[in-house]
Structure 1
Amino acid sequence: MRHLDWDDVQAQAARIAAAIRTDGVPQTVVAVVRGGMVPAVLLTHQLGVRDVRALEVTHTVDDSANAAKTTEPMVRNPASLGGLDGLDVLVVDDVVGTGQALASAVRIVEQAGAARVRSAVLVVNEANWTGDRPPGETVTWIGETVRGWVVFPWEASASAGAEEAS
């Protein structure tokens, strides 16, 4: 199990932001709720992007370590994104496991009319990856790649309780 601290998260966000700047700052950032909210906010501050939106996409039945997956990613209220017609959009999440939740979020953003869609995640868990192509060909920017469960600083207290219960 990989535990990230705030310094790790800040460093990854800074590296990702630097790479994004070389490719063009997006007009809008869409955070995959819940985990993507923190890295999305960090990136918007570093990039100077003020248009931040949220999209709830989940692919696990709960927040416990190695939680079971739902058959398909579950999307709630995609209309909350509003119109993205002609915009350059960055979709952000904290971690990608199978890749299906992020792929669903990207598809929804494309369907909302975005002209350009790129993605960024702090961590890819290669142990769970099921995509047809490697993560680096699917996710535009990756902070780090691991093989196993990741605990972020904003969820450390919840995961500590889960570890004690197991």
Structure 2
Amino acid sequence: MIWQHFVEEMSLLARRIEGQPDIIVSLVPGGMVPAQLLACALSVNDIYGLTVSNHGVAARLETKILESVAEKKVLLVTDLIESGIRMNEAKGYLKAQGAEVKTACLYILANAGFKPDFMLQELGYRIPFPWE
């Protein structure tokens, strides 16, 4: 995927987002660039990152958000959901902090065990992004 195509895809995804988030949280590292573009498109000033490590069938939160997300509308973002383990862990953490969480990504793999609230399409294979 080239940058121009990626930016076009992000524009399509931004138009699918329903509601106005207060905060965008990136699932690091894949969600960093998508989160920034969605923040610009949705006029969201607060962006945070969460690092979640994947250990096969389990995930572990490696970082936390120091600011309160209680009662905030949070959009949790990544580029591609492969299994969904990391996204599910991050969503659970944010909800436990009192946030109202919606999830977004460009693509999910067909066998992913997690369906985001907003996405473009399901793929049968992993695609490389411009920053990879």
TM-score (norm 1): 0.74
Offset at 1:70?
Answer: 2.5
Instruction: Tell me what 2:10 maps to.
Output: 13
Q: Percent identity?
A: 29
Instruction: Tell me what 2:128 maps to.
Output: 151
- Paired with 2:66 and 2:82, the residues of 1 have a C-alpha distance of 23
Q: Are 1:141 and 2:125 matched, yes or no?
A: no
- Paired with 2:56 and 2:21, the residues of 1 have a C-alpha distance of 31
- Paired with 1:70 and 1:82, the residues of 2 have a C-alpha distance of 30
Instruction: Tell me what 1:64 maps to.
Output: none
Query: CA offsets per residue over residues 89-148 of structure 1, 9 Å max, x none?
Result: 00000110111111111111111111x21010111111x42x2xxx5xx31111222111
Query: CA offsets per residue over residues 65-104 of structure 1, 9 Å max, x none?
Result: xxxx6231232022x3531011000000011011111111
User: Is the contact between residue 52 and residue 61 of structure 2 (CA under 8 Å) also seen in structure 1?
Assistant: yes
Offset at 1:47?
Answer: 0.7
| Partner SS for 2:21 | coil
Offset at 1:12?
Answer: 1.8
Structure 2 unaligned segments of length 5 or more: list them: none
1:9-158 map, 5 Å: 9-20=6-17, 23-59=18-54, 70-78=56-64, 80-114=65-99, 116-126=100-110, 128-129=111-112, 131=113, 138-155=115-132
CA RMSD of aligned residues (A): 1.5
In 2 relative to 1, CA 99–81 (structure 1 residues): closer, same or farther, beyond 3 Å?
A: farther
Task: Give structure 1 regions of 4+ aligned residues with deviation exceeding 3 angstroms.
Answer: none
User: Is the contact between residue 92 and residue 121 of structure 1 (CA under 8 Å) also seen in structure 2?
Assistant: yes
Structure 2 letter corresponding to 1:139: P
TM-score (norm 2): 0.92
User: Is the contact between residue 51 and residue 61 of structure 2 (CA under 8 Å) also seen in structure 1?
Assistant: yes
